[in-house]
A and B are shown apart, each in its own frame.
Chain A
Amino acid sequence: MAKFLALIKKEWKLAMRQKAVFLSLLLFSTLVILLIYFGLEVLEVKPKGIVPPVIWLAIVFGGTLQLNRTYDFERDEDVLDGMRLIPNIATQFYLSKFAVNFLMLAVIAIFSSFVASLLFDYPLMTEAGNIILPLFLGLLGLTSVGTTFSTMVMVHHKRDILLPAIFYPLIAPLSISVIKSMQTGYLDTTSWFKILLAFDVIYVTASLLVFDKMMEG
């Protein structure tokens, strides 16, 4: 636990050092929402169901940029080789990366939800009950897979292209389930919730299991 807390502290300090970069992620997510709005301008009345996919797209696109930065510090300073020398550190190391990524993505999600509700005149407060849980479960899945995949592409100089190429197809069922859950509300979406839960349980477990092996090099 002490190792985990120390790693979280380290990750948090690193994240705080790069506030400007994080602000640009929020700006990027806003631009994604704006571009989608311009694309849908032909529709005089925007259907209510259009906002959940807009929010999710902003999270996925903004989140991908954040996930790609997961190992910025380790890559530049060869910190990972040093981490490998510490016994039984893999799980705590993964969880610390996961926690910080989840937090960052959650901020992007909250920010994007407000921007989208403002631009699309979406009753966010009344719909909050329908979107919070699907978004939370979606973020869990997105972060678990994204953190693992960012480890794979960390050393690659074209990781900006490679990460979305391997990441987006895999999270397709997650994306569909999150959007459907948010669009139809809790009571009608038991099955979509089951898929969301299954995705989260499978990929969080699988990520924890394989990360140990990945750290072995």
Chain B
Amino acid sequence: MLVALDAYLIAFYAPLEVNQGAAQKIFYWHVPSAMVMMIFYIIGGAFSIAYLIKRNPKSDALAVSFIEVGFLFCTIVLTTGPLWAKPVWGAWWTWEPRLTSTLFVWLVFFGYFMLRASLEDKDHARLYSSVLAIFGCLDIPIIMLAVKLWRGIHPQVLTARSNLPDEMWLTLIVSIVTVLSLASLLVYLRYKKENSPIEGI
């Protein structure tokens, strides 16, 4: 229902941006996906710390669920970014700092899944992937610091509140709620799967 409402608002309610045209509408999913990615990675990192301290498999199951969904939305950010960049900046990929840093974060957590899938011993897989998740989460602010130094040309969507018409702002809020709800549902399903005796590691 929320997805359908959000799609309607994006397609018919939110006005076309004068300079960027239809490409700007990508931002209604790009920005919330970036928010979900960050929030879920941090929550996943927190559950990884909890696993390392208590060694409770439920903490690990929650950590992998949040990180996997965070990774999915990180992939969406990396896909929608170039889709917007091509018509607006004229190239699919620019070494724009925030795009580059998102790619680094994506690669770090790709390694998380590689490591987890590679280790046959379940306890080792849980333990070492928790360590990698913590190291990955610690890396995010360092990457962000490096990004600031590179002086990005990334559009500041959320700080440009005063420039956004009310229709665009409302659509963005609905998109954030939609993406957050969808991501939470995915985490719930992934957690159930992780806890099932057949699928979980």
Contacts and interface: CB of A to CB of B under 8 A. Distances in A.
Most chain B Cβ neighbours within 10 Å, of A155, A169, A176, A177: A169
Main secondary structure of the interface of B (DSSP, over half): helix
Contacts of B149: 180, 191-192, 195
Contact of B115 (A162, A191, A206, A217): A162
Contacts of A195: 142, 145-146, 149
Interface string B118-141: 110101100110011011101100
Interface string A158-178: 100010011111101100110
A79 interface: no
A128 to B, nearest CB: 24
A203 B115 contact: no
Interface size class of A (residues with CB under 8 A): 20 to 34
Contacts of A180: 149
Interface in B141-197: 142-143, 145-146, 149
B15 interface: no
B134 A206 contact: yes
A213 interface: yes
B50 interface: no
Interface size class of B (residues with CB under 8 A): 20 to 34
Contacts of B132: 149, 152, 166
Nearest to B123: A217
Contacts, number: 80
A156 B124 CA distance: 11
A202 interface: yes
A169 B134 contact: no
Given A169-B107, A195-B149, A198-B145, A148 B131 contact: yes
Interface of B: 52-53, 104, 107-108, 110-112, 114-115, 118-119, 121, 123-124, 127-128, 131-132, 134-136, 138-139, 142-143, 145-146, 149
Interface of A: 145, 148-149, 152-153, 155-156, 158, 162, 165-170, 172-173, 176-177, 180, 191-192, 194-195, 198-199, 202-203, 206, 210, 213-214, 217
Given A155-B119, A172-B104, 8 more contacts: A145-B135, A152-B115, A156-B119, A162-B118, A166-B112, A166-B115, A198-B142, A213-B131
